[in-house]
Structure 1
Amino acid sequence: MWRVARSARPLWLVPGRGAASVSVSPAAGLADERVETRVSGLGAGQAVTLRAVAADDGGRLFQSCAHYWADGLGRLHLGTQPSRGGDYTGVEPMGLFWSLAPAAMESPYRRLVPRSTRAPMKVEVLVHQGHSAPRAIPGPVVAKALVERWFAAPGVRRIRLKEGGVRGSLFLPPGDGPFPGVIDMYGDEGGLIEFRSSLLASHGFAALSLPYFDFEDLPKVMKELKLEYFEEAARFLQRHPKVKGPGVGVIGTGKGAELALSMITFLPEVVAAVCISGCSSNTVADLHYGEMTLPGLRFDMSKVNVSDDGVFDTFEALDDPTNPANSPCTIPIEKAEGHFLLVVGEDDRVWKSPLYAELAIRRLRQHGKENFELLSYPGAGHRIDPPSTPFCQAAVDRVLGVPVRGGGESKAHAHAQIHSWGKIQEFLHLHLG
């Protein structure tokens, strides 16, 4: 059962009227699950601001707001009635969640992403009198409710790994299994990022969250990588008694997507790869596998643009993969026997992921291959995460230590996250049996 800290209930009265209340259903559920938010007990046509407030693992505050008018019966339903202003407009049932951004007193350019999946993200939904601008002091509170957003369903098991050279966390769904197995990786953030793995396990996958630098005894920086590490992880997952087999899948974002391409190309254990905002060439760190080496495309920092507010735009900085001099960096994906799902945001500003997906598809077709699907989203940025993950157009990069523009527009990006998450699960279920 979900554990709810306290239930949603009316707490204040609208002066001169009956009790106003806000309900969010479910009050506790998975973080990728849609909720229904309703307000009642308002005056006919009353103007209100709905606001959401949450804190990250370090206690930093995030908030969002939207302007609404109650209907003729003093009711409001975010699933059918539009926001007229604030951080988003239109009918957006989950707008308060995906538009959460650092509060005015906090440092900007921070992502609201959990480092731990063992506790829920608690989001307080408040109803204020009148319309107040984002980041301005809102009117009096007339009702509020607390919502718990969990990253693992009841019964999901988390097993920390120190298996040979492999590090990370294995998430197993409840039940006897066996389950389709998936390796999950992110990019140059480094460390262990678990929330997508735990959500995949909540939807029936045995998911291995796999760090590859800056974690425990792994290298602190990403200077060079050995594919043998990823091969060991794939073999471990493939042979696990709870994993269905015969092959496993991999999902990666950014550098993780590029590694997913290399894994499905060179490792027979990997039969399906979801590549989100990746490059079709090896980048930054040389990749070794036995006697083979794929050199990494380099970033030319002289091509980085810096805005007046100190945000770095790296869009033009990566070496051109179409330059014949860079052909040794190209991942020979035509050798892969498995299937690819390429996911890109057409407004990605970290690098040219739509172009890189086009190059990958062109290479496959030149070799008579049609073992791919492409999901390309207008208005979406670089990091396309599970649904309702708050949009962040620019975030501090752990390697550079400065804010880097990810691109995208909040509403289009949020819709891309919703659509792609369902398609990713369909793809993995199809190709992992």
Structure 2
Amino acid sequence: ISNKLLSPHPPSRLYPWSLKSWAQLLRSPQMKQVGRIIRVPARMAATLILEPAGRCCWDEPVRIAVRGLAPEQPVTLRASLRDEKGALFQAHARYRADAHGELDLERAPALGGSFAGLEPMGLLWALEPEKPLLRLVKRDVRTPLAVELEVLDGHDPEPGRLLCRARQERDFLPPGVRREPVRAGRVRGTLFLPPGESPLLIVPVSGCGGGCLYHSSSFSLCLSQVKGPGVGLLGVSKGGELCLSMASFLKGITAAVIINGSVANVGGTLHYKGETLPPVGVNRNRIKVTKDGYADIVDVLNSPLEGPDQKSFIPVERAESTFLFLVGQDDHNWKSEFYANEACKRLQAHGRRKPQIICYAGAGHYIEPPYFPLCRASLHALVGSAIVFGGEPRAHAMAQVDAWKQLQTFFHKHLGGQEGTIPAKL
């Protein structure tokens, strides 16, 4: 609509209000009045721009920008995805376009919503489940997670009409990586083999439960693929504890990254050849309840430094591995910082190399790859109820970005690769 003659008569008292409403409706730049002629530029179509567009790896940052808005137009950006079971995760943030009708999340701070401030990747790390107690988990890494991004008009509690949208698929398996299932006895696992003859082999260990380390056939299969000097272990939570045990009892492990792991055996007796590690004791009377009604179990486990519970302490002094401990200081699953420090003391007391410990203020229990949303609370397999895992969303997100870089640098250094030569890919 341009050069439109609105009325030959003098404007009424409603005239200024009607012009403002009309301009908002059209979402065009500010209209100009020349005499009785109102000049309204042609309506501009908003466009959502993603860089990289289309498809990328999950740990890769994305630049989000919007073009074609009205000057200083208020808008709401919304991100959503569904996990492999169809559960919905969403985040939103309110923004205001600049004087040119443009919005760039690398320069424009969020004015509120799921987060506030300058957070270019906030729409991913601030994702929250529609239903409580769900954690975003990717089980089949052969398929991407699709993120839907929408730009909505206005800042009202219920944003206005849809202005534009875009979709990005975020991958977990880089091109060329071979995925080979491991089936050996009662051992179940998967080998992810990079193209070429990479010297790096890293065994990620996760899960919550006991284990028997004498089933080492899968470990032998891993060793047959190694072209470098050894194997790296990467474990989170119970997996971190199992990595400590593997490094202590098994040969050929060169480097291990322990993310919020326990230095005591937890949950069930661990067997290796003729040796056993009993589980550390628990006292459920030490469970606290948060204001949200979730269990806080951070004080439930007994100290592995006292009484009969000393037998549950993993003999880390036997390990020939170099260790990196990544610790969330707001971990409420257990006392991860205490465990890392005690492992360090035990190693140094026996003349072993001092491990590296990196602590993250405000980070919770599940420190995952960059941009995974914080899991504040969820069901715990051993406890049998919902527990709080701790963490503050922004601090946790920043910790994940740094931890991802730190663990890759660590593995490059200690597994024979050249530091910084391998790109940060899942």
Q: Which bin holds the TM-score, normalised by the shorter protein?
A: 0.7 to 0.9
Deviates more, 1:114-123 or 1:377-386: 114-123
Decide whether aligned partners of structure 1 residues 255 and 89 sit closer, same or farther in structure 2, where only a CA change above 3 A counts: same
Please give the alpha-carbon distance, in whole angstroms, between the structure 1 residues aligned to 2:311 and 2:267.
13
Match of 2:197 in 1: 177
Return closer, same or farther for 1:131/1:299 CA change in 2, 3 Å cut-off: farther
Partner of 2:213: 227
Correspondent of 2:257 among 274, 283, 287: 274
Distance 1:14 1:128 in 2: 14
Give the letter aligned to residue 201 of structure 2.
G
Give the match for residue 213 of structure 1. none
> In angstroms, what is the RMSD of aligned CA positions?
1.7
| Partner residue in 2 for 1:258 | 241
Counterpart for residue 239 of structure 1: 224
Structure 1 pair 398–326 and aligned structure 2 pair: CA distance change class (3 A): closer
User: Residue in 2 aligned with 1:141?
Assistant: 162
Question: Which of 86, 103, 124 pairs up with 1:59?
Answer: 86
Question: Are the aligned partners of 1:14 and 1:42 in contact in 2 as well (CA < 8 Å)?
Answer: no
SS at match of 1:334: helix
Counterpart secondary structure, 1:228: coil
AA paired with 1:237? C
Is 2:36 the counterpart of 1:24? no
Q: Is the 8 A contact 1:14 1:142 kept in 2?
A: no
**C-alpha separation in 1, matches of 2:26 and 2:243:** 55
Partner residue in 2 for 1:100:
127
How many Å separate the matches in 2 of 1:328 and 1:391?
A: 34
Distance in 2 of aligned mates of 1:132 and 1:427: 47
- Identity, % of aligned pairs? 42
Of residues 143, 149, 159, the one that matches 1:125 is: 149
Distance apart, 1:369 and its partner CA: 2.8
What SS is found at the alignment partner of 1:53? Answer: strand
CA distance in structure 1 between the aligned counterparts of 2:26 and 2:376, rounded to whole angstroms: 37
**Aligned equivalent of 2:181:** 160
- In structure 2, stretches of 5+ residues that fail to align are 1-24, 29-42, 417-426
TM-score by length of 2: 0.85
CA distance in structure 2 between the partners assigned to 1:40 and 1:15 by the alignment: 13
Partner Cα distance (1:14, 1:295) in 2 = 71
Distance apart, 1:316 and its partner CA:
0.9
The structure whose Rg is larger is 2
Select which of 397, 403, 406 maps to 2:380.
397
Shift of 1:173: 1.6
What is the CA-CA distance between 1:362 and the residue it aligns to?
1.6
Task: Measure, in 2, the Cα distance between the counterparts of 1:225 and 1:97.
Answer: 34
CA distance in structure 2 between the aligned counterparts of 1:262 and 1:117, rounded to whole angstroms: 27
Q: How far off is 1:399 after superposition?
A: 4.0
Against the structure 1 CA distance between its residues 132 and 294, is the aligned structure 2 distance closer, same or farther, given a 3 Å change threshold? Answer: farther
In structure 1, the residue matched to 2:301 is 318
Structure 1 range deviating more: 301-310 or 317-326:
301-310
Query: What are the residue-to-residue correspondences of 1:213-224 with 2, within 5 Å?
Result: 222=209, 224=210
- How many angstroms apart in 2 are the aligned matches of 1:408 and 1:307? 14
User: C-alpha deviations, 1:340-399, integer Å up to 9, x for none?
Assistant: 000010000111101111111122222233341111100000000000111121112244
- Structure 1 match to 2:207: 187
Provide the aligned length of Structure 1 versus Structure 2. Answer: 377
Could you tell me how far apart the structure 1 residues matched to 2:270 and 2:81 are?
Answer: 40
Unmatched 5+ stretches in structure 1: 1-12, 189-221
Checking the alignment, whether the CA contact within 8 Å between 2:199 and 2:415 is kept in structure 1 is no
Q: Deviations over 1:34-62 (max 9, x none)?
A: 11101111111111111101101111111
2:35 matches 1:15: no
Q: Match of 1:339?
A: 322
**Structure 1 residue 317: Cα displacement:** 0.7
In the other structure, the counterpart of 1:377 is 360
Contact 1:234 1:248 in 2 (8 A): no
Cα pair 1:68 1:83 within 8 Å, conserved: yes
